[in-house]
Chain A
Amino acid sequence: MEFKEVVGRRRSIRFFQPWRPVEKEKIQIILEAARLASRAVNVDFHKAIVLYRDQLSKEDLDSLKTPTTNVQLDTAPVCIVWFADLSAVPRMVQAGAPTLKELVNVGALPPTHGWSHAYVDNVIVPQVLKPIADNPATLAVITAAEAAQASCVALYAAVDEGLGTLLTALNAEAVKRITGHPDHLMLLWGQLVGYPAESWEAGGQRPREPFEQTFFEMRYGNPFPRDLRVVEKLKEAKMIQDPAPLPWRQEEIRYLAQMFGLPL
């Protein structure tokens, strides 16, 4: 699938085909994509644990749910649990930022931009990373933001593989009990993955704030002008699609509710 269409087709899928497993190869592709996500100072801020619904006891599966995530967790065969690794920056500080130095070595951070091992040793580690590592609030915000980038790439990789996906809240205590993850991993969310039981359109592209209210030029409040010719081009490329609600969405939900025996 072309990149623009992948972006256009992504939306949160909340009904999956519970009977259809996801090929392990596709899960690996999702993880491989996440591994290549952008990250600051070349640190692995993210960790993920793949849970297979059918290998969880009913009690464990139920314990992961919140009142509005019941159906998606019951139907999705795979849940990739994403974490922010709060030990990533402190470890980097302690080790002298070897993965950042690797970027210097391979020419990704060149001297043309002021980069050197000495700069990493004298400035980045003690004056940038250490203060972050020493401030729990800052550490949590930065680590979560960086780790979230990986899960975002994972979402698009899943769409590209023809799967339905969404990020969903999970009960943190249950995740801890089930996965046995160490305390330095902070739960972000679960990425559910499966084949959609609803149409891939899932009712249409979601409403968003107007472009001009989100993006600015030079100064806050000065809208970035939206060129309608570009919008038309993106419609042709299937990045901008028919907005929700598509006319048949309510009927679709009625049928899904009936199929799964759910309340309306």
Chain B
Amino acid sequence: MATVEELAGQESVQRWYNYYSQHWGAPPDWDFKLQALARFAQWIGKTPDQMIGECLREVEGGYKKIRVKKRRFYIAKIKEFEESIGGVQGRNWANAVRSFFIHNGVAMSADILK
């Protein structure tokens, strides 16, 4: 399993950091976000680049198209990951993972907390 440091070197993780920082400033909880992603990566058995690679495919013109079924798969898996942790902590960890997908261009959200 990749360490947090190794994870930070992945292209998709750098993209996440860069796009996030562009709009929101450098994330003060970056270490937490990385830990959450590392935990999810371990849980699902994929690297961050693999996950994003599965969700996006290159199309003519240099654009990337979302593979809808894969995105659905990851939305469901993140929810499962959240539930496996439970409570507010589960939501926070899962939201860090969602943030990783979102800033890589794989749009998703979460059900609102009630």
A residues within 8 Å of B by Cβ?
A: 18, 67-68, 70-71, 74-75, 250, 260-264
Q: Is the CB of B107 within 8 A of A261?
A: no
Among candidates B24, B71, B112, residue contacting A261 with C-beta atoms closer than 8 Å: B112
Q: Tell me the nearest residue of chain B to A72, going by C-beta.
A: B109
A71 (CB) vs chain B CBs: closest residue: B109
| Interface status of B111 (Cβ within 8 A of chain A) | yes
A-B contacts, 23 of them at CB < 8 A, read A18-B112, A67-B71, A67-B108, A67-B109, A70-B108, A70-B110, A71-B109, A71-B112, A74-B112, A75-B112, A250-B24, A260-B112, A261-B88, A261-B113, A262-B95, A262-B109, A263-B95, A263-B96, A263-B98, A263-B102, A263-B110, A264-B24, A264-B99
Q: For residue B64, give the distance in angstroms from its CB to the closest CB of chain A.
A: 15
Of A18, A74, A261, the residue contacting B91 (CB under 8 A) is A261
- Nearest residue in A to B92 (C-beta to C-beta)? A261
Task: Quote the shortest CB–CB distance from A19 to chain B (angstroms).
Answer: 9
- In the complex, the answer to whether A68 meets B109 with C-beta atoms within 8 Å is yes
Cα-based distance from A37 to B44 in the complex (angstroms): 53
Closest chain B residue to A68, Cβ basis: B107
In the complex where A67-B71, A67-B107, A68-B107 touch, is A262 in contact with B24 (Cβ < 8 A)?
Answer: no
- Please state if B109 and A263 are interface contacts (CB–CB under 8 Å): yes
For A263, the chain B residues whose CB sits under 8 A away are: 95-96, 98-99, 102, 108-110
The CA-CA distance from A70 to B24 in the complex, in Å, is: 21
Residues of B within 8 A of A261 (CB): 88, 91, 95, 110, 112-113
Least CB distance, B108 to chain A, in whole angstroms: 5
Q: How far is the CA of A250 from the CA of B22 in the complex (A)?
A: 12
Closest residue on chain B to residue A197 by CB atoms: B112
Instruction: State A264–B108 Cα separation when bound (angstroms).
Output: 11
B residues near A71, Cβ cutoff 8 Å: 109, 112
Nearest-neighbor residue (CB-CB) of A67 within chain B = B107
Distance in angstroms between the alpha carbons of A260 and B111 in the assembled complex = 8
The answer on a CB contact under 8 Å between B99 and A70 is no
Bound CA span A260–B108, Å: 15
Q: State in angstroms the CA–CA spacing of A260 and B112 once bound together.
A: 5
Q: Which B58-74 residues have C-beta < 8 A from chain A?
A: 71
**Interfacial chain A residues near B23, Cβ < 8 Å:** 250
Inter-chain contact A262/B108, CB cutoff 8 Å:
no
B residues in contact with A18, CB < 8 Å: 112, 114
Complex Cα spacing A68 to B113, Å: 17
CB distance from A65 to the nearest CB of B (A): 9
**Cβ–Cβ < 8 Å partners of B95 in chain A:** 261-264
CB distance from B35 to the nearest CB of A (A): 16
Query: A75 — nearest CB in chain B belongs to which residue?
Result: B112
Residues of B within 8 A of A262 (CB): 95, 109-110, 112
What is the bound-complex CA distance between A41 and B11, given in angstroms?
58
For A262, the closest partner residue in chain B by CB is B110
Q: Provide the bound-state CA to CA distance between A260 and B24, in Å.
A: 18
Q: How far is the CB of B44 from chain A (nearest CB, A)?
A: 17
* Distance between B113 CB and nearest chain A CB, rounded to angstroms: 3
**Using an 8 Å CB-CB cutoff, how does the interface string of B20-64 with A read, 1 for contact, 0 for none?**
100110000000000000000000000000000000000000000
